[in-house]
């Protein structure tokens, strides 16, 4: 499925300060010979994936309604400006009726075949007080689908960040505690060693997509801690896109699941050899017992 590449009209809707910062970040990519970038957006339903896509593009490119079910298929939005193209892929929620939606993962995987993912935005909400087993299962399902390497190309985005935490906690303390608990869940769900996970250096960005988001003196959307979040997110995206880790290429082997099949086929000769060796040992032990008992073979 292709996507019509359009001029990035929404870029002009950003405040001048945001435009300047974004221009610098995209210039950094072009200096590294990256004339295009593909960003995959994933997470559970209702966490603000589509709204985050709209905020990043500066246009209402994905329909969002509180009374409307999420789209059933991935959608790619492409915009170009000054010789640089950004592709953002919005995806269905990964949970259905309290369980991991493996059908959605299969649809996403099929949509991505022959595409290269430069960055994954893993989206969840800031204003949630705990993580649970389902969060771990979602991370595990993503890992099984795309491999552990996907987390080395990831930014954790926490939405609904125009949020007042409980009285006993400051905004900084609550947001840090929430992000740390999700990062720990990612490490456990992806079955990554502590050092391996620390090396992946997953960045965390807080976002507020609603119209009630505060603004700073430069008219940029700003969070309670004063940070302009759209430039923060784009900076995190460009940092991940240009890190030393390889982008994730989704080929037919990954879609068909034949990577695991190939690994299994390579193990077959070893398994047969082990079975033959064990059988010979058992036969030898039986013959030895027969000799000791004085009975003929």
Q: Which residues define the annotated binding site for Mg(2+)?
A: 50, 68
Burial of 269 (0-12, 13-18, 19+ CB in 10 A): exposed
Q: Which residues contact 264 (CB under 8 A, 6 or more apart)?
A: none
Sign of CA dihedral 207, 211, 214, 219: positive
Kindly give, in sequence order, each residue whose CB lies less than 8 Å from that of residue 231, ignoring residues fewer than 6 positions away. Answer: 17, 18, 21, 22, 25, 220
CB atoms within 10 A of CB 283: 10
- For strands 119-125 and 36-43, give the pairing: parallel
Any idea what DSSP says for residue 66? T
| Residue pair 191/147 in contact by the 8 Å Cβ criterion | no
Task: Give the chain's radius of gyration (CA, Å).
Answer: 25
Question: Annotated binding site, which residues?
Answer: 46-51, 65-70, 160, 208-209
Tokens of 25: 């970040």
Going by the annotation, the residues of the binding site for GTP are: 46-51, 65-70, 160, 208-209
């Amino acid at each position: 499925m292709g996507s019509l590449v359009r001029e990035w009209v929404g870029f002009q809707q950003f405040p001048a300060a945001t435009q300047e910062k974004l221009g610098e970040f995209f210039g950094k990519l072009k200096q590294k010979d990256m004339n295009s970038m593909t960003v995959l957006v994933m997470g559970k339903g209702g966490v603000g994936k589509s709204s985050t896509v709209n905020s990043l593009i500066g246009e209402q490119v994905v329909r969002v309604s509180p009374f409307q079910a999420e789209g059933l298929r991935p959608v790619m939005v492409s915009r170009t400006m000054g010789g640089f193209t950004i592709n953002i892929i919005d995806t269905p929620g990964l949970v259905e009726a309290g369980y991991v939606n493996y059908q959605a993962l299969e649809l996403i995987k099929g949509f991505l075949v022959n595409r290269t993912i430069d960055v994954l935005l893993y989206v969840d909400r800031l204003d949630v007080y705990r993580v649970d087993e389902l969060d771990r299962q979602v991370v595990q399902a993503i890992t099984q689908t795309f491999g552990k390497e996907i987390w080395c190309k990831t930014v954790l985005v926490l939405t609904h960040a125009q949020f007042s935490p409980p009285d006993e906690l400051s905004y900084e303390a609550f947001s840090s505690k929430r992000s740390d608990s999700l990062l720990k869940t990612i490490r456990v769900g992806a079955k990554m060693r502590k050092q391996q996970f620390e090396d992946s250096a997953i960045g965390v960005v807080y976002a507020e997509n609603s119209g009630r988001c505060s603004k700073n003196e430069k008219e940029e959307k700003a969070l309670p801690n004063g940070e302009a979040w759209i430039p923060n997110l784009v900076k995190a995206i460009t940092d991940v896109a240009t890190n030393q880790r390889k982008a994730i290429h989704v080929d037919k082997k990954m879609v068909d699941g034949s990577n695991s099949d190939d690994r299994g086929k390579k193990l077959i000769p070893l398994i047969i050899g082990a079975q033959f060796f064990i059988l010979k040992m058992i036969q030898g032990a039986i013959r030895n017992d027969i000799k000791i008992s004085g009975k003929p073979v």
